[in-house]
Amino acid sequence: MSQMMTNQSGKSTVARLFRQLKGQRIRLCVVAVSIVIYVGLSIYTPMFSAVVIDHLWQSIQAAWNHGIPFSITWTNMGQELTQLTIQYFFTWIFYYLQSYLMANVAESLNLELRNQIARKLNRLPLRFFDQNKAGEILSRVTSDLDKIAEVLQTGLLKLIVAIGTIVGSLIVMFYYSVPLTCIFLVFMVISMVITQIVAKKNRRCAAERQETIGELTGIVEEYYNGRNVIKAYNHEDDSMEQVAAAVEKNRVANQKADFLTNCVNPLIRLLTRLANVVIAIIAGKAMLDGAMTVGVVQAFFQYVNQTAEPLTEASFMINSLQSALASAKRTFELLDDEEEIPDPVKPAVLERANGNIAFEHVSFGYNPKHLLMKDISFKAKPGQKIAVVGSTGAGKTTLVNLLMRFYEVSGGKITVDGVNAAEMTRSGLRKNFGMVLQDTWLFSGTVAENIAYSKPDATREEIIEAAKAAKVDYFIRTMPKGYDTMLDNEAANLSAGQRQLLTIARVFLCNPPIIILDEATSSVDTRTEVEIGKAMKQLMSGRTSFVIAHRLSTIRDADTILFMEHGNIIEQGSHKELLAKKGAYAALYYSQFE
Burial label, 413 (beta-carbon count in 10 A; 0-12, 13-18, 19+): middle
Residues 398-414, mean pLDDT to the nearest whole number: 89
Q: Is the pLDDT of residue 439 over 50?
A: yes
Q: What is the pTM of this model?
A: 0.63
pLDDT value at position 416? 92
Which of 2-6, 195-199, 510-514, 536-540 tops mean pLDDT?
510-514
pLDDT value at position 460? 92
Considering the domain boundaries, does residue 139 fall inside one?
yes
pLDDT value at position 587? 87
pLDDT value at position 233? 60
Burial label, 85 (beta-carbon count in 10 A; 0-12, 13-18, 19+): exposed
Q: How confident is the model at residue 464 (pLDDT cuts 50, 70, 90)?
A: very high
Total domain count, the chain: 2
Residues 421 and 543 in one domain: yes
Residues 329 and 394 in one domain: no
Tens-place pLDDT, residues 284-332? 888 877 788 888 888 888 888 888 777 666 666 776 777 777 788 888 8
Greater pLDDT, 74 or 302: 302
- Rounded CA-CA distance 497/505 in Å is 12
- Rounded CA-CA distance 275/187 in Å is 7
Residues 310 and 397 in one domain: no
pLDDT value at position 461? 92
- Rounded CA-CA distance 481/421 in Å is 43
- Rounded CA-CA distance 582/571 in Å is 11
Nearest to 328 by CA among 13, 112, 7: 13
Bridge partners for 357 per DSSP: 380, 416
Residues 442 and 302 in one domain: no
Bridge partners for 517 per DSSP: 436, 547
Tens-place pLDDT, residues 153-174? 776 777 788 888 888 888 888 8
Q: How crowded is residue 291: how many other Cβ atoms within 10 Å of its Cβ?
A: 11
Q: Is the pLDDT of residue 93 over 80?
A: yes
Residues 330 and 361 in one domain: no
Residues 568-583, mean pLDDT to the nearest whole number: 89
Considering the domain boundaries, does residue 109 fall inside one?
yes
Q: Which whole-number Å values give the CA distances from 449 to 471, 477, 483, in the listed order? A: 18, 15, 8
- Rounded CA-CA distance 227/222 in Å is 9
With helix as H, strand as E and coil as C, how does 333-362 read? HHHCCCCCCCCCCCCECCCCCCCCEEEEEE
pLDDT value at position 542? 77
Residues 271 and 311 in one domain: yes
Q: How confident is the model at residue 524 (pLDDT cuts 50, 70, 90)?
A: low
Residues 322 and 384 in one domain: no
What CATH number has the domain bearing residue 146?
1.20.1560.10
Q: Where are the alpha helices (DSSP H) in 372-495?
A: 396-403, 426-430, 447-451, 460-469, 473-477
Q: How confident is the model at residue 486 (pLDDT cuts 50, 70, 90)?
A: confident
Q: Is the pLDDT of residue 536 over 80?
A: no
Q: Which whole-number Å values give the CA distances from 334 to 216, 338, 488, in the listed order? A: 18, 9, 29
Considering the domain boundaries, does residue 8 fall inside one?
no
Greater pLDDT, 93 or 205: 93
Q: Is the pLDDT of residue 246 over 80?
A: yes
SS3 category, 593: coil
Considering the domain boundaries, does residue 348 fall inside one?
no
Alpha-carbon dihedral sign for residues 333, 338, 339, 345 = positive
pLDDT value at position 4? 42
Q: For a pLDDT cut of 70, what percent of the chain falls above it?
A: 91
Residues 41 and 72 in one domain: yes
Considering the domain boundaries, does residue 508 fall inside one?
yes
User: Which range (26-30, 65-69, 99-103) has the least confidence?
Assistant: 65-69
Q: How confident is the model at residue 420 (pLDDT cuts 50, 70, 90)?
A: very high
Alpha carbon dihedral 340, 15, 212, 127, in 10-degree steps, equals 10
Residues 503 and 547 in one domain: yes
pLDDT value at position 2? 42
**Contact 528/504 with Cβ under 8 angstroms?**
no
Alpha carbon dihedral 533, 535, 539, 544, in 10-degree steps, equals 0
pLDDT value at position 5? 41
Considering the domain boundaries, does residue 4 fall inside one?
no
- Rounded CA-CA distance 429/350 in Å is 7
Tell which of 335, 366, 400 closes a domain: 335
Contacts by 455-460, CB closer than 8 A, 24 or more apart: 455/509, 455/510, 458/509
Rg (CA), the chain: 36
Residues 366 and 329 in one domain: no
**Contact 319/264 with Cβ under 8 angstroms?**
yes
pLDDT value at position 9? 59
Greater pLDDT, 417 or 208: 417
What CATH number has the domain bearing residue 418?
3.40.50.300
Residues 472-489, mean pLDDT to the nearest whole number: 85
Residues 235 and 297 in one domain: yes
Greater pLDDT, 463 or 21: 463
Give me the chain's average pLDDT, please: 81
**Contact 325/203 with Cβ under 8 angstroms?**
yes
**Contact 60/70 with Cβ under 8 angstroms?**
yes
Residues 246-258, mean pLDDT to the nearest whole number: 86
Determine phi and psi for 361, rounding to 5 degrees: 50, 50
Domain encompassing residue 418: 357-592
- Rounded CA-CA distance 218/241 in Å is 15
Q: For a pLDDT cut of 90, what percent of the chain falls above it?
A: 7
Residues 415 and 371 in one domain: yes
Considering the domain boundaries, does residue 239 fall inside one?
yes
Q: Is the pLDDT of residue 277 over 80?
A: yes
Considering the domain boundaries, does residue 162 fall inside one?
yes
**Contact 507/434 with Cβ under 8 angstroms?**
yes
* Termini Cα distance of the chain: 68
Strands 514-518 and 544-548: parallel
